[in-house]
């Protein structure tokens, strides 16, 4: 619900203004010189209608502008010389939302109509009739209402621009902070991963020179070290907006599954549906979901088998990773940075993520990523 400046609902403020203007017009009409009895009732109705029409000034400013102008002409024909306050408020509202040219045209038309009406329906000299028309709508009041609406419109525009600038500055600062953290992580992790990679390569080399069979676990450590180094570089380059080494995506998932198979986990990969081009962000997120899910399986689940299913749908990419680990049905998953990161990635794309124990045992991660509108 829209709130006003003091926390009051906007509709309540509109009703207060409309009732106040209607009361002011009726009070002025009743206290002034009364016309003949026959058309008087119509004049009172038009005075009240002109004020009450302001209730809709936010929803239909152009219609309110027309209604209040016609009411002003109508009660002048009925013999009332009351300042068209309702029309002035309608001018303010229409200019505030940007209908400046329309308001100028409507006001010029109304001024002409009021003067013409005074000449046709009023008795006496023409000068006196025109003076009565000016009492209904004075140009000075009209200019003041127009200026007030334009001033507030400009103020709101500047406030909105300042808010956008503030958001852009905050977003830029956040991006710079993320880049700084990425660089620090890169510097701190690269050394440790390089040590692991070098030691594993030396161990493999020594084993082969001796003619010994290289353990599969040692080969997996060697390949994992190489992949970790590549991903660290790719992540840092992506944060720097460097496209020379694009981050992994859908096409890299089969290779990812093979690396986990080398660790001793029995992983199957199933791809369903017709392969369509998906946005790069969707491909990156799909890769990270599979990577994080398989990593959690190896580290925490004590599972022997796992399955990865990727389904290409016309409007979405569905990913499902299941395992036969020791997760208990009904138990809430332990929150961690991996699940949190997956959920943030999926939510940013407007998708859905479920991560929970399966009823038949083990754990499942399911994600649906929309392929329309992601970038």
CA 5 – CA 93 distance, rounded (Å): 16
Find, among 101, 100, 107, the residue nearest to 72 by Cα.
107
Question: Please, are residues 366 and 311 in contact by the beta-carbon 8 Å criterion?
Answer: no
CA 260 – CA 263 distance, rounded (Å): 5
Q: Is the pLDDT of residue 342 over 90?
A: no
Find, among 99, 90, 80, 13, the residue nearest to 51 by Cα.
90
CA 259 – CA 224 distance, rounded (Å): 8
Question: For the chain, what is the mean pLDDT?
Answer: 81
Higher pLDDT, 372 or 67: 67
Q: Quick one: what percent of the chain has pLDDT higher than 70?
A: 81
Higher pLDDT, 55 or 227: 55
Q: Is the pLDDT of residue 107 over 80?
A: yes
Higher pLDDT, 41 or 97: 97
Can you read off the two tokens belonging to residue 140? 């000075």
Span of 1-10, 158-167, 359-368 with lowest mean pLDDT: 1-10
| Highest mean pLDDT, choosing among 218-227, 272-281, 314-323 | 314-323
306 - beta bridge partners? 267, 323
Span of 141-145, 187-191, 217-221, 322-326 with lowest mean pLDDT: 187-191
Helix (H) or strand (E) holding 272: strand 266-272
What digits encode the pLDDT tens for the residues 138-196? 788 888 889 998 898 888 888 888 888 887 788 778 777 776 776 666 666 766 777 78
pLDDT band for 104, please (50, 70, 90 cuts): very high
Span of 7-11, 291-295, 330-334 with lowest mean pLDDT: 330-334
pLDDT of residue 245: 54
pLDDT of residue 375: 47
pLDDT of residue 167: 79
Find, among 29, 64, 66, 28, the residue nearest to 44 by Cα.
29
What digits encode the pLDDT tens for the residues 25-37? 888 877 766 655 4
Q: What is the pTM of this model?
A: 0.46
pLDDT of residue 242: 46
CA 306 – CA 297 distance, rounded (Å): 8
Q: Is the pLDDT of residue 238 over 90?
A: no
Q: Is the pLDDT of residue 54 over 70?
A: yes
Q: Is the pLDDT of residue 243 over 50?
A: no
């Amino acid at each position: 619900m829209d709130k006003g400046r003091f926390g009051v609902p906007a509709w309540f403020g509109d009703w207060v203004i409309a009732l106040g203007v209607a009361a002011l017009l009726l009070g002025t009409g009743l206290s002034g010189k009364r016309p003949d009895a026959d058309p008087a009732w119509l004049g009172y109705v038009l005075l009240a209608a002109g004020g009450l029409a302001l209730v809709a000034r936010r929803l239909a400013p152009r219609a309110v502008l027309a209604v209040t102008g016609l009411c002003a002409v109508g009660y002048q024909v009925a013999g009332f010389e009351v300042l068209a306050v309702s029309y002035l408020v309608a001018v303010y509202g229409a200019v505030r939302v940007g209908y400046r040219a329309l308001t100028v045209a409507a006001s010029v038309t109304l001024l002409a109509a009021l003067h013409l009406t005074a000449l046709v329906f009023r008795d006496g000299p023409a000068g006196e009739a025109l003076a009565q028309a000016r009492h209904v709508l004075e140009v000075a009041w009209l200019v003041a209402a127009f200026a007030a609406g334009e001033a507030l419109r400009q103020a709101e525009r500047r406030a909105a621009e300042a808010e956008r600038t503030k958001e852009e500055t905050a977003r830029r600062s956040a991006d710079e902070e993320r880049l700084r953290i990425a660089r620090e992580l890169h510097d701190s992790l690269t050394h440790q991963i390089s040590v692991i990679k070098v030691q594993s390569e030396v161990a493999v080399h020594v084993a082969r020179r001796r003619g010994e069979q290289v353990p599969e676990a040692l080969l997996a450590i060697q390949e994992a070290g190489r992949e970790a180094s590549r991903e660290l570089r790719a992540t840092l380059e992506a944060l720097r907006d460097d496209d020379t080494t694009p981050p992994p995506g859908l096409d890299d998932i089969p290779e990812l599954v093979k690396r986990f198979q080398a660790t001793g986990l029995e992983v199957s990969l199933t791809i369903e549906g017709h392969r369509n081009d998906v946005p790069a962000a969707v491909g990156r997120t799909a890769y990270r979901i599979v990577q994080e899910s398989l990593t959690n399986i190896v580290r925490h689940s004590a599972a022997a088998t796992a399955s990865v299913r990727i389904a290409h749908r016309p409007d979405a990419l569905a990913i499902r990773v299941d395992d036969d680990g020791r997760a208990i049905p009904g138990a809430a998953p332990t929150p961690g940075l991996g699940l949190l990161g997956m959920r943030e990635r999926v939510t940013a794309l407007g998708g859905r993520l479920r991560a929970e124990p399966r009823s038949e045992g083990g754990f499942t991660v399911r994600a649906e990523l929309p392929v329309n509108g992601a970038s």
